[in-house]
Amino acid sequence: MTNREKLDQEELRRYARHLALPGFGMEGQQKLKAGRVLVIGAGGLGAPVLLYLAAAGVGRIGIVDFDRVEETNLQRQVLYTVQDVGRFKAEAARERLLALNPHISVEVFTVPFSRENALELIAPFDVVVDGTDNFPTRYLSNDACVLAGKPLVYGSIFRFEGQAAVFNHLLEDGQRSPNYRDIFPTPPPPELVPNCAEGGVLGVLPGIIGSIQANEAIKLLAGIGEPLAGKLLVMDAANLATRILKIPKTPGLEIRELIDYEQFCAPTPPAPVREISVQELQGLLAQNADIQLIDVREPYEYGIANLGGELIPPGEIPASAARIARDKMVVFYCRSGKRSAEAIRQLRQQEGLDNLCNLRGGILAWAREIDPSMKQY
């Protein structure tokens, strides 16, 4: 036993329930203290991962996240409080984790996780946990772990469904378990996977999946149990149905270098739509121009902030074509401009309308550039 792994009297008291656990005991706790875990993303998944790794006594925890805490994060990101809004997530997380367990060390990296720094960031750590919510970073973290020979604990959430797995785990025969590309060789089109802001997510779901990720990381460090290597756990929080699917390795799959992941995950450019800036719309409204405003969001979003447009939720677009003017400019808007652009494409194809215009940047751009007092979400 090295001095780094030795537990002092206070730690013996703190971790007493681990020490009494058959098959874990002193040896398992010492391995945790010597363990090093890098968590990429301190959001919905990263929050429970970090809390439980810190509480369990993982000796060195790294956090990569350059986002700041927003009010809408508090519905699911349980590391943070109202007082943290505006702070870097990684820095607020470090403060909370050290308050929870002063016997650990926490390093923060308030930078984007990129192909330029990925291998350098993961090099000092034993296990990497992916708590991100976008495909470019998922592929990057997977490929970097494969190249560096590190196990990757994966998790994802969407609406009511969550997934978890352990990728690139070193098996007893010296081989590595399947990785993310064995399940998803190529990313799905982004329009089929809306983000949490537009698709929603049950607040407790990241807590459940993140706790599973923390469990897998602890198992890897302590050398206990059977990790989710070569398996994908799928959970539906709406009915608590779970499945564990076997992941086969893809013959001939080889990762040789880190690539441009934004380009790799970029979809085929959609058909362009006519756009108008928020400044141009402000001018038209000030002139009382004869235009029609259509808001293609959900009713709850309209209740948070709106521009006074007529509300037609996305699911009602096909049946609401008769409500859309044919003889004047019609400006569609949504939260960011994505859904409204899709609505215009749909109506242009189905109804042949050519008088439709998309508000570039949507409500977010209006709040940012025209009315900073408007609530963002």
- Report the C-alpha gap between 179 and 128 in whole angstroms: 13
139 vs 268, which has greater pLDDT?
A: 139
Average pLDDT over residues 164-184: 95
> Does 318 lie in the same domain as 254?
no
> Does 210 lie in the same domain as 86?
yes
Hey, what amino acid is at 26? Answer: M
- Report the C-alpha gap between 53 and 31 in whole angstroms: 13
> Does 68 lie in the same domain as 204?
yes
Please state, for a pLDDT cut of 70, what percent of the chain lies above it: 95
User: Using an 8 Å Cβ cutoff, are 178 and 213 in contact?
Assistant: no
> Does 120 lie in the same domain as 87?
yes
Average pLDDT over residues 170-189: 91
Does residue 43 lie within any of the structural domains? yes
H runs (alpha helix) in 149-223:
180-183, 196-199, 205-222
Tokens of 316: 């009602």
> Does 214 lie in the same domain as 321?
no
Q: In terms of residue numbers, what domain contains 82?
A: 35-264
Give residue-wise pLDDT tens across range 32-73.
Answer: 999 999 999 999 999 999 999 999 999 999 999 999 999 989
Does residue 357 lie within any of the structural domains? yes
> Does 256 lie in the same domain as 192?
yes
H runs (alpha helix) in the chain:
9-14, 16-19, 25-34, 46-56, 89-100, 118-122, 135-148, 180-183, 196-199, 205-222, 261-264, 278-286, 299-304, 338-351, 362-369
Does residue 353 lie within any of the structural domains? yes
pLDDT at 102 over 90: yes
> Does 346 lie in the same domain as 259?
no
| pLDDT mean across residues, the chain | 92
Does residue 253 lie within any of the structural domains? yes
> Does 297 lie in the same domain as 195?
no
Number of domains in the chain: 2
CATH, residue 331: 3.40.250.10
221, 245, 264 - which closes a domain: 264
pLDDT at 191 over 60: no
Q: How would residue 3 be classed by pLDDT, with cut points 50, 70 and 90?
A: low
Q: Model's pTM, two decimal places? A: 0.78
> Does 75 lie in the same domain as 41?
yes
- Report the C-alpha gap between 31 and 26 in whole angstroms: 9
> Does 172 lie in the same domain as 214?
yes
9 burial (CB, 10 Å; 0-12 / 13-18 / 19+) is exposed
Work out whether the CA dihedral 108, 120, 141, 66 comes out positive or negative: positive
> Does 340 lie in the same domain as 306?
yes
Does residue 22 lie within any of the structural domains? no
> Does 330 lie in the same domain as 354?
yes
Catalytic (active-site) positions = 196, 334
214, 231, 264 - which closes a domain: 264
Does residue 242 lie within any of the structural domains? yes
